[in-house]
Structure 1
Amino acid sequence: MSRRALLQSTASQAAITASLAVAISAGLQAQAMAQAPAPTAPVEVSPSLNLPVMDVSGQAPEPANTLQRPTGISRLPGTVQDTPQTINVIPRAIMEQQGVTTVDQALRNVPGITTSIGEGNGGVNGDSFRIRGFSAQNDVYVDGLRDFGSYTRDAFNLESVSVLKGPSGTTFGQNTVGGAINLQTRTPHLGNAYSGTLTTGMGPMGRGTIDINRQIGETSAVRLNIMGNHTQLVDRNGVSSGRWGIAPSFAVGLGTATTFTLDYLHMQDNRVPDFGVPTVTAPGSAIARPVTNYGVNRRTWYGWGLDRDDTTVDRVTARLQHRATDWLTIYNDTRVGFVNRNFATSVVSCGTAPNCVNALFDSNPRTVPMVQAGGAGNPFHQQTWGIQNVTTAVARFNTGPIRHEATAGLDVWVQNDQRTGYGLNPATRPTVSLFTGQYSSAGYSVVPGTGANVRETDQRYIGGFATNRMWLTPQISVVGGVRVSNYDIDYKTYGAGAATTALSSNQTFVDPRAALIFEPTPQQSYYFSYGRSTSPAGSFITTQPGTFNTGNQSLDPERNTVYELGAKFSLLNNRLGLYGALFRIEKEGAFVTDPLLGTTTQSGDDQRNQGVEIGVTGQITDAWAINANYTYMDSETTRSATAGTVGRRVQFVPRHAAALWTTYEAFRDTPYNVTFGGGFTWRDQVFLNNQNTAEVGANFSLDAVVSHRFGSRNQWRVAVNGYNLSNETNFDQLWANRVIPSSGRTVLFSLSAAY
């Protein structure tokens, strides 16, 4: 994007934001005057969160102690405290206090999660997470269903973000090594509610959201969420995002035995991608580090005018819940998703550029180090569509003195990806200074690709699962479960003048699960759990095409075993939750991806990660809320044919990570009310490869918020949020030979209203 186009886009977004401000204010006031809140029928408790200050419908708010919340997934009945694995929940209340706009921002509240960058050979970035050190890029679910495609997810339509750590293969299917991420959307509820938020500040940044819920019958309601956003990142020259989204939904049968919900999401995101700064090995050192350690400004961006990440997402979800009897409930959930993506980026490496490293460290005379983007970031167009249906039955019954909670079902999905690659004319990009980056694409054009530039993939999955929890006594129960899966993939490449290459794989695998649970009181839970998950070859082909090729199509699946010993407590009349766990993950036959070529082989490496996690969630007093978590991870490659790898730490796994967010409401229910809040996110140093020859230092971000409510019913809220207040040079996204610097000190202002 040219600078002129960027300025025009920024001006356009500012106009949109101003228009949204007028629309929100006028619309909310008109709705408030047009009707008084109507009495509502009794409402069935749902996993949706409504902030107490915004609750005008009579619907009971979710507890601040997230241990007392439902898991939000039909295949895991019960609450977070009942479930024998660590589940971190970031509720809507915290996301609104922090001014969260994307899922990756929400996940900064969860230590043990790192974010990686798209790899070479045409990989794409977007939401690419790692849980407890292991890839979870295909393990993002929305309301328990797969979210097809790779893109950056906005938070405007979310009630909560949950990270289910530990044994998840039985629940979700393939992959889920360290766990899975589940996003819970906002759905219609009985009663009427109208709210909106405007945000602006440094960057520049402008954002507007609207959330309207309206009851249209005794048991039916509609809801509409709208978002417009433009962001220019602080201290990252040229990196920006402009997106908008709309999410209407409809529900019937609310509060009855049969509930049907239909929702739709449309989002368009036009962003300038960021593939970060390269790492270099200084003379006399054995460890590569980011070039920002050696005088390169963190603002430096190595993209050019043809770089783009333009994404359109369309997703339709239908969910049916039927309480057939007092002991049997049936769920049937279906999703259809489409993701259309045009992508091009600039990937540079100082280590492969002639004389770049020598020039960087040669001070007499000083030579300007030069870098050049390679062909890995050449333009492509990718279309993804997928369909999934999950049918689940939950039965609660007794056999003699033994009480049962049995879950069984069928999970079926198909996904198709087609990618067409393009070239550049001229084919070779110009060199650019390592210190300044940013070069013009004048004189360059996108041209049709040559050779085998088309990649087409068909994936098919079917899995049957069954889990039974049996209470041997009122305090002691056991869980046993299994999922049998079949994964089939066909992949072919072709193009003008190129022969067609076809690859395929079909694998059947079994993932068991077991747990022993002791609950001496309803407020205490102690458990030991075991689970296994499987990653067959081709699992990551959507985001990393090089991971499926002639060399690995017949590889055995990657096997992963998880053990967890944990405890959960609810205190202070269930206001406050404490939890902790010891865990161990063992990975056999790990896949290894080349950081430059993107090709994947099965190294035979065995890896393990073990550690401890502790946390607190909820309210210490009615006015004082807290959400804190600490994770220690001891990772190691235990077997490998690669020299210098055994005994080394697993890449991207910090030893220590912690997050804290706490707020205090002073002078509540008075005109002088003020909410003070703040916290930090921190992770230790990490290595960027399994040989531990490249690293990035620790991250630390100090954040804070001050807000005030006003109006006749405190329906208005004004807030100031500060991020990275100590202006640290942090790196949120990592890869083997490059890292992406985070934003510098940022201050945002927001105004919101709720009727």
Structure 2
Amino acid sequence: MLKHFPVTIKIMALVLLLTSSVAGLAQNIRGTVRGKVVTAKNEPAAYVSIGLEGTTHGSTTNEQGEFSFRAPAGTYKLVISYVGVERVEIPVTINAAQSTDVAQITVKASQSQLTEVNVIANSANRFTSRISNDAAKIPLAALENSQSYTTITGGLIKEQQIFSLDDALRNAPGIQKLWDATSRAGDGGGIFTQRGFVTQATVRNGIAGLVTNTIDAVNLEKIEVIKGPSGTLFGSTLTSFGGLINRVTKKPYDVFGAEVGHSVGSYDLSRTTLDLNTPLTTSKNVLLRINSAYNYEGSFRNYGKTRTFAFAPSLSIKASDRLSFLLEAELYYGHAAAKPFFFFYNSPKDMGPKGVTEVKDLGIDYKQAYVNDDITMYSRSTNYFAQANYKISDKFISQTVFSSSNSFSDGANPFYYLVNDATAQLFNPTLPATPTGHDYIVRGDQTTRNSKFAAVEVQQNFNGDFKTGSLRHRAVFGLDYQYINSNQVFLSGTYDVVRINDKNFDYAALNKNIVDAYYAANPASAANAFTYYYKKNTYSAYLSDVVNITDRLIASVGVRVDRFENKGTYNFDRVQVNKPFSQTAVAPKFGLIYQPVKDAVSLFANFQNGFVNPDVYVNTTGQSITPKIQNAKQIEGGVKTALFNGKLNSTISYYHISLTNTMRNVPGSAIFAQEQDGTQVSKGFEADIVAAPFSGFNIVAGFAYNDSKITNSTDPNVAGRRPVTAGSPYLANFYLSYRLSETAVKGLGFGLGGNYGSKTYAVNSISEGTFQLPEYYVYNANVFFDRTKYRFGLAVNNLTNTQYYTGYTTINPQRLRQFVLSASYKF
């Protein structure tokens, strides 16, 4: 197995070596410093990071606002600092082998503001987030959550000069991009694989927030990659059997602040950003924050350009000491040329006399767009959110949330069929009479014609933190309603057959005028339009309780009851083609945590459930079949750490997922028949490490192995084989960052990162043969100079200019080397 990832092994060995050096800090005789932090209202400030400036020593307050950590003897400044909160500095002298008590520290902020407090000291583990409000729908530290998840912080995103959620996910182990965003209404966002199953980024702050073009990073506070089937808390429409991607957005704070930035780079990149925050009243009860970005970029190909605009305002209103509101919007607009996708029209084994098994056998021109870049698609995603929080008592809180997601797309989306020469001749009889190779592609298109997709979610949560006897409960009871209205229209066409690699051919001659003329001659109708016209309702109730049996033993239990209603599907003429149906699902979950070292090491295990209500399908006899509910069960166990005062954070886990009632396409079927049978078993191992071994140096590293197979299927064509949706069996990521401290160039830093993906199947069956995309090693580097008022950065993405591919059932070339230069000024 090791031969698949030699570089990964070296990286992980380096990580372990560097993190073990933290233990060397104990060579000095240490003392203990302890104290308590409270908010402006004299309430305990929980989960606040606090540390000794210029050192690697610090800790995080517990739920009572208390902290305690050890450090070498000496005189220091104890520091807490946060954007929008007055910096707190407390002189402290630590004596060897003694405890030093610090007077109570008050920070001028509310507990909600302090959720993401960071220490402004180069020692801090800058890329960790101690608490999540969304992963369990109640505030929980990672060591208290029996489910594994990875957090990608806003600080990491900013340091790496990442501009999209898609690129930010390179920092999470076990998740891999399969498709770039197509921008099609309803389903056009980037497609990823996680734990063997396809997923998309459809969750925002724990509820629905669909974006169907590339998600801009300008409004991201952090990203949470939540692992495994999570139907109990998130239902069936927002998550996949492998997990979900939750984006946590920036929120208003109570002082004026602004940052403007501009970036330029390879492929005509030009990007302008704004982050503006201001109180709107003198009492600071009404706060406004606006994040916005305009992005223009060309392509590493000879044609292709993208223009996007993101605008995300948020308004916070404190109506009283008990009642507050948060109103938010996300407006994303895109106008882009398509990124080439290559499909197999003929199976890989039928591509020429000997077939093909690797990309290098196909002759694809990596830098060729194959069409003119005036063939574009316009896309729009407009999301609106409203949240009301009401403090019922000191122990119970009510949260009411409304979400409205709307997407629209109109325009062409070219793609290409890989064909053998015999098939090419069927499309164009003037081609050579005795073809034997695979020298051609068919240029096709799937146009969306004024497609619309709307989703509404209303959610009511009651959160409690209370005791029954000696047991502490942190519970949530929720009611959820989701409504989906899909009006998606697709038109398909094929334009011509051309050689796949002809240096003298003008591929750009296929332009917008030709596409428009084709569809003018073939207008949409029930005969040739492929539609997704349907309405769906989902009514849910869920309950989850995290119980502290002791201060080290934590159990959790939860259940969801879900009522799904499909109102039927319709063709282009609004004639019903599938009748309505309803289904009820029950999704339980259980978890257990034991901390052998309090607040430092957690042993965890969970049982989780996920489910999906598939659409009506057509079997091989042409009969419409109401599907069975697909159900996934996961068993997972592992260990989480927050050692050395939080400087070595890790999650190591093993999981086993079993999915029943899998759907499969029937090969060779002229009516696109499907069958629902068999099981997919997905199991594997994941390791996630975030460490700060010494002052200024930070490490993010991860490794994942996944073994997925179709089992118990009645179709021997795919039985026992890895599904193409599962991606690479081996994935690895790392990022090393060093920031200089206490020097004339304080704020200067350097970063180096990379990703590895082993070979992955684009095709894998007996009838079609097997075709694997090659393994890849992709490296990124950056240098930055970050000061209080300004920041400069230079990043190089795909440092070694590697040609690599992603895809499932397809072959998708990825971006070559790109230089990015950024500057920003903070007011």
Whole-Å separation in 2 of the counterparts to 1:88 and 1:494: 42
Shift of 1:505: 2.5
CA contact (8 A) 1:576 1:619 kept: yes
Alignment match of 1:218 (pick from 284, 301, 304): 284
Q: Output the amino acid matched with 2:784.
A: S
Report what 1:370 is aligned to: 440
Shift of 1:373: 2.7
Whole-Å separation in 1 of the counterparts to 2:610 and 2:638: 20
Q: Deviations over 1:100-131 (max 9, x none)?
A: 11111111212322333489x99964322221
Report what 2:497 is aligned to: 431
Of the structure 1 ranges 518-527 and 216-225, higher mean CA displacement relative to structure 2 is found in 216-225
Q: Using a 3 Å threshold, how does the CA distance of structure 1 residues 618 and 164 change in structure 2: closer, same or farther?
A: same
Whole-Å separation in 2 of the counterparts to 1:558 and 1:149: 25
Report what 2:294 is aligned to: 228
Shift of 1:640: 1.4
Shift of 1:679: 0.8
Q: TM-score, with normalisation over the residues of structure 1?
A: 0.84
Whole-Å separation in 1 of the counterparts to 2:354 and 2:630: 34
Whole-Å separation in 1 of the counterparts to 2:352 and 2:491: 38
Whole-Å separation in 1 of the counterparts to 2:124 and 2:613: 38
Whole-Å separation in 1 of the counterparts to 2:509 and 2:712: 44
CA contact (8 A) 2:362 2:438 kept: no
Of the structure 1 ranges 636-645 and 221-230, higher mean CA displacement relative to structure 2 is found in 636-645
Shift of 1:278: 4.3
Alignment match of 1:721 (pick from 795, 805, 809): 795
Shift of 1:248: 1.2
Q: Deviations over 1:477-500 (max 9, x none)?
A: 22111001011122433346x954
Q: Output the amino acid matched with 1:261.
A: L
Whole-Å separation in 1 of the counterparts to 2:720 and 2:567: 37
CA contact (8 A) 2:648 2:693 kept: yes
CA contact (8 A) 1:111 1:683 kept: no
Report what 2:98 is aligned to: none
Alignment match of 2:248 (pick from 175, 184, 191): 184
Whole-Å separation in 2 of the counterparts to 1:685 and 1:635: 14
CA contact (8 A) 1:305 1:439 kept: no
Q: Using a 3 Å threshold, how does the CA distance of structure 1 residues 512 and 697 change in structure 2: closer, same or farther?
A: same
- Secondary structure class of the residue paired with 2:495: coil
Q: Using a 3 Å threshold, how does the CA distance of structure 1 residues 184 and 373 change in structure 2: closer, same or farther?
A: same
Report what 2:636 is aligned to: 564
- Secondary structure class of the residue paired with 1:106: helix
Alignment match of 1:239 (pick from 304, 313, 319): 304
CA contact (8 A) 2:195 2:242 kept: yes
Report what 2:30 is aligned to: none
Q: Deviations over 1:228-273 (max 9, x none)?
A: 0011122x33232101121111112399543311111212101111
Report what 1:77 is aligned to: 139
Q: Output the amino acid matched with 1:518.
A: Y
Whole-Å separation in 1 of the counterparts to 2:312 and 2:381: 11
Q: Which runs of 5+ in 2 are unaligned?
A: 1-83, 88-106
Of the structure 1 ranges 459-468 and 645-654, higher mean CA displacement relative to structure 2 is found in 645-654
Q: Deviations over 1:265-318 (max 9, x none)?
A: 21210111124234545657566333x554322112234567432111211111
- Secondary structure class of the residue paired with 1:526: strand
Report what 2:195 is aligned to: 132
Alignment of 1:276-295 (within 5 A): 276-278=341-343, 280-281=348-349, 288-290=357-359, 292-295=360-363
Whole-Å separation in 1 of the counterparts to 2:464 and 2:490: 50
Whole-Å separation in 2 of the counterparts to 1:215 and 1:162: 29
Shift of 1:64: 3.0
Q: Using a 3 Å threshold, how does the CA distance of structure 1 residues 709 and 101 change in structure 2: closer, same or farther?
A: closer
CA contact (8 A) 1:54 1:715 kept: no
CA contact (8 A) 1:203 1:233 kept: yes
Whole-Å separation in 1 of the counterparts to 2:120 and 2:263: 19
- Secondary structure class of the residue paired with 2:720: coil
Shift of 1:620: 2.3
Alignment of 1:302-381 (within 5 A): 302-304=370-372, 307-351=375-419, 354=422, 369-374=439-444, 377-381=446-450
Shift of 1:334: 0.8
CA contact (8 A) 1:676 1:706 kept: yes
Asked if residue 196 in structure 1 is aligned to residue 265 in structure 2, the reply is no
Asked if residue 679 in structure 1 is aligned to residue 733 in structure 2, the reply is no
Shift of 1:150: 3.1
- Secondary structure class of the residue paired with 1:107: helix
Shift of 1:468: 1.5
Q: Output the amino acid matched with 1:703.
A: N
Shift of 1:90: 0.8
Whole-Å separation in 2 of the counterparts to 1:50 and 1:232: 38
Of the structure 1 ranges 75-84 and 168-177, higher mean CA displacement relative to structure 2 is found in 75-84
Shift of 1:381: 2.2
Q: Deviations over 1:441-484 (max 9, x none)?
A: 34442333122535421011111000122222222122111001
Shift of 1:632: 1.1
Q: Output the amino acid matched with 2:752.
A: G
Q: Output the amino acid matched with 1:643.
A: P
Q: Output the amino acid matched with 1:658.
A: A
Report what 1:8 is aligned to: none
Report what 2:482 is aligned to: 413
Whole-Å separation in 1 of the counterparts to 2:185 and 2:352: 31
Q: Deviations over 1:489-520 (max 9, x none)?
A: 22433346x95424322111111100121123
CA contact (8 A) 1:351 1:357 kept: no
Whole-Å separation in 1 of the counterparts to 2:627 and 2:437: 47
Shift of 1:655: 1.9
Q: Output the amino acid matched with 1:222.
A: L
Q: Using a 3 Å threshold, how does the CA distance of structure 1 residues 66 and 433 change in structure 2: closer, same or farther?
A: same
Shift of 1:394: 1.4
Q: Output the amino acid matched with 2:646.
A: N
Asked if residue 44 in structure 1 is aligned to residue 44 in structure 2, the reply is no
Shift of 1:145: 0.9
Alignment of 1:112-123 (within 5 A): 112-117=174-179
Alignment of 1:631-642 (within 5 A): 631-642=704-715
Q: Using a 3 Å threshold, how does the CA distance of structure 1 residues 557 and 46 change in structure 2: closer, same or farther?
A: farther
Report what 2:736 is aligned to: 662
Whole-Å separation in 2 of the counterparts to 1:559 and 1:676: 46
- Secondary structure class of the residue paired with 1:717: strand
Shift of 1:705: 0.3
Q: Output the amino acid matched with 2:734.
A: L
Whole-Å separation in 2 of the counterparts to 1:627 and 1:667: 20
Whole-Å separation in 1 of the counterparts to 2:256 and 2:230: 37
- Secondary structure class of the residue paired with 2:267: coil
CA contact (8 A) 2:124 2:692 kept: no
CA contact (8 A) 1:628 1:661 kept: yes
Whole-Å separation in 1 of the counterparts to 2:552 and 2:746: 48
Q: Using a 3 Å threshold, how does the CA distance of structure 1 residues 93 and 647 change in structure 2: closer, same or farther?
A: same
Q: Deviations over 1:50-92 (max 9, x none)?
A: 776799xxxxx99635352324457243122221111111111
Of the structure 1 ranges 561-570 and 73-82, higher mean CA displacement relative to structure 2 is found in 73-82
Shift of 1:220: 3.0
CA contact (8 A) 1:43 1:254 kept: no
Asked if residue 479 in structure 1 is aligned to residue 556 in structure 2, the reply is yes
Q: Using a 3 Å threshold, how does the CA distance of structure 1 residues 149 and 593 change in structure 2: closer, same or farther?
A: farther
CA contact (8 A) 1:48 1:159 kept: no
Q: Output the amino acid matched with 2:792.
A: V
Shift of 1:723: 1.0
Q: Using a 3 Å threshold, how does the CA distance of structure 1 residues 421 and 323 change in structure 2: closer, same or farther?
A: same
Report what 1:743 is aligned to: 815
Q: Using a 3 Å threshold, how does the CA distance of structure 1 residues 582 and 421 change in structure 2: closer, same or farther?
A: closer
Aligned residues: 692
Q: Deviations over 1:677-701 (max 9, x none)?
A: 0110111111124427121111221
Task: Pick the structure with greater CA Rg.
Answer: 2
Shift of 1:41: 4.0
Alignment identity in percent?
19
Shift of 1:619: 2.3
Shift of 1:598: 10
Asked if residue 699 in structure 1 is aligned to residue 776 in structure 2, the reply is yes
Report what 2:611 is aligned to: 534
CA contact (8 A) 2:452 2:488 kept: yes
Whole-Å separation in 1 of the counterparts to 2:604 and 2:368: 49
- Secondary structure class of the residue paired with 2:274: strand
Report what 1:584 is aligned to: 656
